[in-house]
Amino acid sequence: MANGIIDLSTATFDEAVSGSSKPVIVDFWAEWCGPCKKIAPILEEIAGERDDVSVAKLNVDDHPDIAMKFNVMSIPTMIVFQEGEVAGRVTGALSKGALLQEIDGFLTSP
Check 5, 24, 33, 58 and give the catalytic one: 33
Is 33 annotated as catalytic?
yes
3-state secondary structure the chain: CECCEEECCHHHHHHHHHCCCCCEEEEEECCCCHHHHHHHHHHHHHHHHCCCCEEEEEECCCCHHHHHHCCCCCCCEEEEEECCEEEEEEECCCCHHHHHHHHHHHCCCC
Is 54 annotated as catalytic?
no
CA distance 33 to 49: 25
Cα four-point dihedral sign 22, 26, 58, 47: negative
Check 8, 36, 46, 79 and give the catalytic one: 36
What residues act catalytically?
Answer: 33, 36
